Structure formats: C-alpha cells, structure tokens
Amino acid sequence: MSWLLSLFNQDSVPHTLLIISLVVASGLVLGRVSLAGIQLGIAGVLFSGLLFGHFQLSINPEVMHFLREFGLVLFVYAIGLQVGPSFVSSFFRYGLRLNGMAAAIVILGALITVLISIFGAIPMPVAVGLFSGATTNTPSLAAAQQVLSGLAGIDSETLKMPGLGYAVAYPFGIAGIILAMLLNKRLFKIDIANEAKNFADQQQQDTHVPIWKDLRVENPNLNGLTLRQIPFFEGMNVVMTRILHNGAVDVAGQESHLAIGDTIRLVGEREPLEQLKILIGPESDIDLKQIATNLQSRRLVVTNKSAINQTVGNLCMLYGVTISRIHRPDVEFSPTSNVHVHFGDELNVVGNQEALNSIEKALGNSLEELDHPQIMPIFIGISLGVLLGSVPMYLPGIPSAVKLGMAGGPLLVAIMLSRVGNWGTMTWHLPKSSNIILKDIGIVLFLACVGLHSGDQFVETLVKGDGFYWMACAALITLLPLLIVAAVGRIVYKLNFLTLCGLLAGSMTDPPALAFANNLSPAAAVSMAYATVYPLVMILRIIAAQLIILLVN
C-alpha cells in the first residue's frame, strides 16, 4: 500500500495528474447536485479544490501556477472565438438599449465593490473576488488574479484572497439573480402568459429577421430590365430567389429579365420588402413554392477550403443558383453579391437538382470536416494573444505599466480572428463541440488550481474570520445593480418581463439563472436577450475586474 500512499503525499508527475483529475471529477459531480433547484455547475470544481487544499492534498506550486495560467488562456481564447462573430452585430443592431442596461449593471457592481472596499474595510484583493463571485463570472476572477500577480509587492498569501472572496460570494451570486427575478415578478405583478403573448406579437413586427414575400411586377419602368440593371436591389440587401415567367418557375439570377405580370420571390428584412412593394408591385396571391417545378432548396455548409472567401455573386454565377440566406453563429442575414463566405457558414441555396449537386461539391458540405478542427490556428492564435497580453501600456493616472495579460490578450486576439474567419486556407473557426471542450478543459484547470491554492485558508476565513461579513457585502454587489436596472427597464423602457429576465441572467453570464428564466415560459425572449448582452458583458466584466485593482490598489 506504500505505492498508493506515495501517490497522494509525494510530489511527482503521477501525483499531480491524480490530484488534478480527482479535483475536477469530484467537482463536476458536486456541481450536478441540485439544492432547491440550484446547481453549482462547473464552479463545483472550485469548491472541490478548496476541500482538497484544506486537507493539504495539493500539488507543486510552480506546476499549479502553470496549469492555472494555461487553463485561463484556453478558456478566454475559446470564449473569444465563441462571442466574436456576433459581438459587433449584437451590440449595434440587435440591442443597443439592452447592452447599455447590461453595461450599467456591470458598472454599478464595480462601483459598489469599490465603495465596499473603501468604506467597509475589505482588502481590495478580497473585494475583487467578491465582485467576481457575486456576479458568477469566473473570467473576471482569472483576469483579476493575473493582474494582481503582476503588481509589485504581492505575495502568495495575497494572491489567495480573490479566490477566497469568489468562493464565499458565489453561492448567493447564483441565488441572488433568481431572487431578483422573483422580486420583480412580484413587484410589477407580472402575468407570464401575457408577457409571452406580447413578445410573440412584437416578434411579428421584428424588421431584422429575414422573411420572404412573393410580389407581382406591375411597375412599367422595370419591364425588360435585368436584376443587375435595378440599382435599389443591392442597396436594400434583398435577394430574389425565384421568378414565375410565362407559367414557369425558374431560379432568379443577375441576368434574369423582369416583365409585367411576373411573380418574384424576395428574401430580406421586413422594412425593405415593404418599400419594394411600392417600387415593384403588390403581394401576389400565388405561392411560388406551391407551383410544380424542378427547383429545390438546400442548406449547405462551407467546409471546402477552396470555397472560402469566394463571393456570393461569383458562386451564384458559376453554378446557376441563388443564395438567399447565410447563417453564421447567432446571425442570419440575406447576403449581397459581394459578401464573402467563411468556413462553417450555412448557405440556403435555391436551384435545380443538378446545380445544387454541383455547388454542394464545391462548398464541401461535410459534417466530418466541420467537426474536425485545425489545431495549428489554435496555437498560433494563443501565441498572438500571449504576445499582445505581454505588451506594456502606460496610461495616465496609473503609476505602473498596464498589460492585457493572459486573460485580455488571448480574448481580444480570438475576437479579432473570429471576425476575420480565415487567412487563405487557414481557418480560425472552431466547431461548437470543440469550442466547448477547449473552454471547459481550460476553466476546470483554472478553478481546480485556484481552489487548491486557497483551500488551506478557506474554512478558517469562513468560520473564524470575516467570511459571513463578506457574504453580506457580496449580496449587495449582486442585488443592488440588478434591482435598480430592472426597475428602470420596466418602468422607463417598458421592457417585456421575459426579455428583462434574459437581460439579468446575461448581465451575470449565469447559465443557471438562464435555465430558471427559460422555465418560466417557452418563449424565446429570455434566450434572445441573454445572447444579445452576453458578448459585451463578458468583455466588460474582465476589464472591470482589472480596473478595480489597477485604479484602487
């Protein structure tokens, strides 16, 4: 049995692997335990690490430091790839008001944290941990610890404080968001069914979701013109997919001629389609899809490297098809002819069977290829992120140089690369399953190491120290911003309650709160609001945690 004991008490490679694996496995089991409908989720790994650390079952400090930083880099890089494609569009197009309110929640939480630290006599390293735990945002904890470790005069005991604050604050952080939703429901006497109906009615008027209309050509000025000769089509981001001429339906292309009495199918946003009814003619009582024809519609995925960066116009001309919609992560739109396709794009293509078979071969449409990520771009991106994070920046009012660090650098690089999509045949796209694995491996390594590092002081802090006082302060950081912004959203902006719940959950980047809100109603309002604010909030919380330390320390 001596060999077994040595695995637990002697520093070695097997010892390190065993402890880390046990911490992660037991933490994930703990995270699945439900108490009053609430689960710790992946944060259970932190509490498992605290338990192991309390009983002195830890690993070599240098190895722990490496695993923590490596896990952090993997996590934030995967987060950047995930939120990058939808970050700009979600901010400017789908929810400027929602993102503004979510930003207000982050800023209010940061201000309350600073005030609590100054007037509540809580050390800043602990306060920033409370900020991260009270808002259930692990990346901000990672960013804070990274910045803290780079400051002069910071010892190993101080580095434990953010993890302790996070662990103390996290349980109420989850419950507090749900409590805020229930308080608002009671305060404003919300009828969930009525809110869901109002949201459905509002969606009918949504101008950003691509829809289709069949219009009858009655404008004599268009008679005999080709689609290429009609300038307002390109400017309106509308695609003509089919045309009914002389009783036959055919795919519409740039050289398709219009004639009085033709019926055409247009795909685009509601507002420009309504304008085109004035310019072209009224809606037709003919449904082009109901007419017998050899035209078909397929959804094809771009996986062939030779198709990457080709324009929609070039593909349509080469294969005699029409591309009516492109679906990218969290975004669906009707493309103009000069839009370039990216790896992983889902194209809605209309054409005859022969043309569709040809373009399918050109695009790839291989799920196997889509699910097989390129490894080299991941490490190139991480390398660029580490380089960017190590560049010192000198800002007025801050005595020492500021660095984006291992949290900020890879995050920004991943966002930029995901927007680029690909360089030549090298693609930065990461399949959803691969992204989840990369993100989860990174975060469990980080949380396990934070727990092991802080575990020897956690119980003592909670029982003999200021642990319960910290909990009370964390409750203020959780509840006050949520209640203030929720009241403004409901009273001033008349936000739908389900949208408001999605906003509150998204402002805390909290999946358990999202799950709770989704259980209130099957309407998509909660998830849509959550997805709209999530990218900006994730970045703001990472920045806020670093600024709290740099500006107040």
Indicate whether 119 and 186 sit together in one domain: yes
What local confidence, expressed as pLDDT, does residue 105 receive? 96
Rounded Cα–Cα distance for residues 478 and 132 (Å): 10
Rounded Cα–Cα distance for residues 351 and 298 (Å): 9
What local confidence, expressed as pLDDT, does residue 212 receive? 78
551: three-class secondary structure by DSSP? helix
The neighbour count for residue 425, using CB atoms within 10 Å, is: 12
In a domain, 294, yes or no: yes
Rounded Cα–Cα distance for residues 540 and 408 (Å): 11
Task: Choose one of 369, 399, 425: the last residue of a domain.
Answer: 369
Indicate whether 326 and 459 sit together in one domain: no
Indicate whether 319 and 346 sit together in one domain: yes
In a domain, 86, yes or no: yes
Contact present, 536 and 227 (Cβ < 8 Å): no
The neighbour count for residue 182, using CB atoms within 10 Å, is: 10
Residue 367 carries which side chain, given as an amino acid letter?
Answer: L
Task: Output the DSSP codes for 316-340.
Answer: HHHHT-EEEEEEETTEEEPPPTTPB
The neighbour count for residue 517, using CB atoms within 10 Å, is: 27
- Using CA of residue 454, residue 460, residue 461, residue 462, what is the dihedral sign? positive
The two structure tokens encoding residue 316: 């349509």
Collect all residues with Cβ–Cβ distance below 8 Å to 182 and sequence separation of at least 6: none
The two structure tokens encoding residue 283: 């809606």
Which of 553, 552, 544 minimizes the C-alpha distance to 407? 544
Rounded Cα–Cα distance for residues 388 and 399 (Å): 21
Q: Are strands 38-39 and 34-35 parallel, antiparallel or unpaired?
A: antiparallel
Rg (CA), the chain: 27
Torsion of CA 172, 177, 183, 189, to 10 degrees: -160
Task: Choose one of 325, 341, 369: the last residue of a domain.
Answer: 369
In a domain, 214, yes or no: yes
Residue 406 carries which side chain, given as an amino acid letter?
Answer: M
The two structure tokens encoding residue 160: 């434990």
What local confidence, expressed as pLDDT, does residue 92 receive? 62
Indicate whether 353 and 479 sit together in one domain: no
Rounded Cα–Cα distance for residues 355 and 349 (Å): 10
What local confidence, expressed as pLDDT, does residue 116 receive? 93
């000069």: which residue's tokens?
338
What local confidence, expressed as pLDDT, does residue 35 receive? 72
Indicate whether 249 and 388 sit together in one domain: no
Indicate whether 171 and 187 sit together in one domain: yes
Indicate whether 82 and 162 sit together in one domain: yes
Rounded Cα–Cα distance for residues 338 and 520 (Å): 43
Q: Give the E-state strand segments of 334-375 in sequence order.
A: 346-352
The two structure tokens encoding residue 394: 């000198």
User: 535 exposed, middle or buried (CB, 10 Å; 0-12, 13-18, 19+)?
Assistant: buried
Rounded Cα–Cα distance for residues 109 and 102 (Å): 11
Which of 400, 418, 398 minimizes the C-alpha distance to 410? 418
Indicate whether 439 and 504 sit together in one domain: yes
User: 456 exposed, middle or buried (CB, 10 Å; 0-12, 13-18, 19+)?
Assistant: middle
What local confidence, expressed as pLDDT, does residue 90 receive? 55
In a domain, 271, yes or no: yes
In a domain, 35, yes or no: no
Contact present, 251 and 295 (Cβ < 8 Å): yes
pLDDT block averages, 10 residues each, the chain of length 553: 70 86 92 72 81 85 88 83 65 74 95 93 91 86 80 77 84 80 87 81 61 86 84 74 81 81 84 86 80 78 82 81 77 74 84 87 82 84 89 69 72 81 72 82 86 76 78 93 94 89 86 71 72 79 86 71
Indicate whether 275 and 352 sit together in one domain: yes
């000025």: which residue's tokens?
221
The two structure tokens encoding residue 200: 């459905």
Which of 381, 416, 388, 385 minimizes the C-alpha distance to 402? 388
Task: Give the distance, in angstroms, between the CA of residue 95 and the centroid of all CA atoms in the same chain.
Answer: 14
In a domain, 147, yes or no: yes
CA angle 11, 13, 18 (to 5 degrees): 90
In a domain, 38, yes or no: no
Rounded Cα–Cα distance for residues 254 and 235 (Å): 14
What local confidence, expressed as pLDDT, does residue 402 receive? 64
The two structure tokens encoding residue 100: 């503004």
Collect all residues with Cβ–Cβ distance below 8 Å to 290 and sequence separation of at least 6: none
What local confidence, expressed as pLDDT, does residue 159 receive? 83
Indicate whether 412 and 316 sit together in one domain: no
Which of 305, 295, 306, 311 minimizes the C-alpha distance to 349? 295
Which of 257, 262, 277 minimizes the C-alpha distance to 213? 277
340: β partners:
311
Task: Choose one of 322, 337, 369: the last residue of a domain.
Answer: 369
Residue 58 carries which side chain, given as an amino acid letter?
Answer: S
What local confidence, expressed as pLDDT, does residue 515 receive? 64
Indicate whether 183 and 328 sit together in one domain: no
In a domain, 22, yes or no: no
Indicate whether 150 and 128 sit together in one domain: yes
Q: Determine phi and psi for 249, rounding to 5 degrees.
A: -95, 130
Contact present, 458 and 54 (Cβ < 8 Å): yes
What local confidence, expressed as pLDDT, does residue 480 receive? 96
- What is the CATH number for 245? 3.30.70.1450
Rounded Cα–Cα distance for residues 341 and 421 (Å): 9
Rounded Cα–Cα distance for residues 343 and 426 (Å): 10
Q: Residue 263 is part of which domain span?
A: 208-369
Rounded Cα–Cα distance for residues 135 and 106 (Å): 9
CA angle 80, 342, 354 (to 5 degrees): 150
